[in-house]
Each structure stands twice: as structure tokens, then as C-alpha cells.
Amino acid sequence: MPVAAHRSEAPTAIRTDLGAIFVSLELSQSKWLITSLSPGGGEKMSKHAVAAGDVDGMLGRFAELKRKARARTGRCFPIIVVQEAGLDGFWIHRVLEAEGIESHVVDPASIATSRRRRAKTDRIDGEALVRALLAYQRGEPRVCAMVRVPTPEEEDRRRLSRERQALTNERVRHVNRIKGLLFSQGVSGYEPLRRDRRVRLEECKTGDGRMLPAHLKAQIGRELDRLELLLEQIKAVEAARDAMLAATQAVSPAPAMLLTLKGIGPEFTAVLWSEGLSRHFDNRRQVAAYAGLAPTPWQSGSVDHDQGVSKSGNPRLRTTMIQMAWLWVRHQPHAALTLWFRDRVKQNGGRLKKTAIVALARKLLVALWKYVNAGVVIEGAVIKAA
């Protein structure tokens, strides 16, 4: 075949024959950049900006795109929209679906980019999103990872465990600040979380035998005020968490099943259920990958080694599972998973415990998933007494 004929029959760089208008949204706090590729418009992508939060302007732009595509081709095309998961959450996705528009939310870290130093602008990112959406609609494997958008109820259910974590972190900061202020005066052994913290503060003396200075005592008193407020808020959140778990048992027995295992309490149960096990997974690999506990191999020629876990999944679920793995070894000493962990550590001469505990966390998460979904009993696990 002649070279000229071969070139004339070569496919275009971007296929636009999929029967839809492809749109990407590049969202920021000041504006939304709408990048689109329409049938009959060639390979050039159009760009239009609206003010951030201007839903009517966005929908008006979509109507204009449909009108122009129909004028060019005589056909009416649906709109397919993609946006990155980010600070805006999922409310824009829900608005689009309510309008009957097909919408996707993509994990931005899953889109392949050049490893060279590259320019980055909203216009370039918008075009890259459209190209990723085109490849995804064509069915190309591993071109990007679309996020499964939770329902409003599922999203709201996760608030309790996340708020408790934030309050607990803030409590630690206040406790450390109080201890640091006292330690600078030679006072050690003071515990701000004790119920008699106010009385003990009055009894504190500096390292050189003086009573605490007035302004320092006043500052610590205000820190204790904030600390006591935090303790009350943590109690309220825990009460709401327990009520949520009790209400969930009427829909699914999974939370109650988790609570029966020794070493798993209400907080671990709430995090496991709301962050991971309430979702649908097809196999154990998906479970481990969602928690970011899947291994990451590196193979090139004769080089073949493991880079560790991917850490690309849900960070709260991953952190909770590693904490739970340590407690599982303590509270479930005769379980098969604990025996496997101890045997692995023994083979390494007592070293690499942290690496082995991550592997145990992955195995434990898969075992819990099988337990709550298929009733597969974890071998050797101890059930709490009624």
C-alpha cells in the first residue's frame, strides 16, 4: 500500500464517534472550567468558564452544547460528564444525575501522566480529563479509576467515626500542651484527663518550691475548659455512634457479628462498617486494594521485588486495620492468623514485625469481609461471652 494512501486511512487522534458530548469539569473556589468535545466539531475542544457554584450557568452551557451539536449533525446527543474527586465532594455529581446527565467522578491519582517535568494548568487538566473519559467509554482497561459515589446516607454515616478521630486528636494536643506548660516549671506527673485535675492543679508547685504563677494557672485553666468541652463532645459522638450501630443491625447483621469478636469494640466496628465493609466487593483483591493494603510489585527484566503496600485506598480503613492487627495478636493469641504472624516473625529472627503486621492486617480484613458477607468463621477466633 502506498504511504500516502496509508496516511489518508489512518485514524484520527481523538475518536468522536461514540455518540455523546464529552465534558470535563475543572473545579476551583473561584471558577468552574467546562471543557467539551462534541460530535461534528472536529478534534478541537471548547472551553468555557462559569463562576464557582453557578449550577444554572453550567446547565445552560450544557444546553448550548447540545443545541450546537444538533445544528451541525441533525441529531440530539446525550452529555457525559467527568470531574475529579476533591474538596467539592459529590453534590455536583448528584445535581447532574438529578438532571438526567450521566456523571462520573474519577480518582485524579489514577490518571496516567508524563514523568517528565510538565506544564500544569486548568486548561491542560481539563483536556486530559476529557481524553481519559473517552478512553474509559471505549472500554480501555486501567485507563483510570472511577470512584463509586456513596449515597447521602452512607456519606453521612461516616461522619461520626471521622469526627471522633478529629476530636481525639484535638484532645491529645490539649493534654500535651498542658503537660508542656507545667514541665517548663519543673512539674511532672500531672494528668489532665483525671477527674480531680482541677484539685491537683491547685496543689501543683514549681520545681523550686513556688506556687504556680497566676497567669500560667489561668492559661492552664482555660486549656482545661477546652479539654472538658472536648470530653463532653466525644461522649456525645460515641453515644450517637452506638445508636447508629444499633439501628444498622435492623438492616444488616454485620455490625453485630463484628462486635461478637474479642478485640473488636464499637469504634473499630463503626469504622470497619462505615468505611469499608458496607460496600460491595467482588473478590478479596478488591477488598485489599480499597484499603490500600495491596502489594505493589516492581518487575523489570531480572529485577523483581516488592515495593510494599500501595497506600492508594481509604487511609482511615488502612490505619484502623493496622491498629486492629496489633490488638488481634494480643486478644486472639490462638487464632490461625495470629499463629501465622508469630511464625513469620520467628522465621525473620524476631525482626520485620512492622512489615508482618501489615500483611496480617490485609489477611484480617479479607477474613472479616468473608465473615460478615458469607458467614465464614475465622479459624480459631474467640467469641465474646454473652
Residue 17 confidence (pLDDT): 59
Summary mean pLDDT of the chain: 90
User: Which stretches of the chain score pLDDT less than 70?
Assistant: 1-18, 386
Predicted pLDDT at 15 = 52
pTM of the model: 0.82
Encoded amino acid at 68, one letter: K
Which contiguous run of DSSP H or E holds residue 49? Answer: strand 46-51
Chain centroid to CA 228: 30
Please work out, in degrees rounded to the nearest 5, the angle formed at the alpha carbon of residue 69 by the alpha carbons of 68 and 70.
Answer: 90
Q: Which residue has the cell 457479628?
A: 257
Q: Which residue has the cell 492552664?
A: 220
C-alpha cell at 241: 455512634
Name the residue among 207, 177, 211 with its Cα closest to residue 192: 177
Helices and strands in the chain: count of H runs, count of E runs: 14, 7
Please tell me the predicted confidence (pLDDT) of residue 296. Answer: 81
| Type of residue at 363 | K
The residues facing 104 across adjacent strands are 82
> Across the strands, what pairs with 297?
306
Whose cell is 447483621? That residue is 253
Residue 6 has what pLDDT?
A: 41
User: Are 235 and 304 within 8 A, CB to CB?
Assistant: no
Q: What is the CA radius of gyration of the chain?
A: 28
d(C-alpha 81, C-alpha 283), whole Å = 29
Say what the pLDDT of residue 48 is.
Answer: 95
Q: What pLDDT sits at residue 119?
A: 84
pLDDT in tens, 233-283: 999 999 999 999 999 888 888 999 999 999 999 999 999 999 999 888 999
Q: Report the pLDDT value the prediction gives residue 10, as an integer from 0 to 100.
A: 44
The predicted structure's pLDDT at residue 297: 80
Residue identified by cell 492487627 is 325
Q: Report how far residue 232's alpha carbon sits from residue 227's, in angstroms, rounded to the nearest whole number.
A: 9
The rounded distance, in Å, linking the Cα atoms of 378 and 371 is 7
Query: Amino acid letter at 217?
Result: K
Strands of the sheet containing 46-51, edge to edge, are 46-51, 31-37, 21-27, 79-84, 102-106
End-to-end Cα distance, the chain: 80
The conformation of residue 146, written as its DSSP 8-state character, comes to B
Q: What is the pLDDT of residue 18?
A: 67
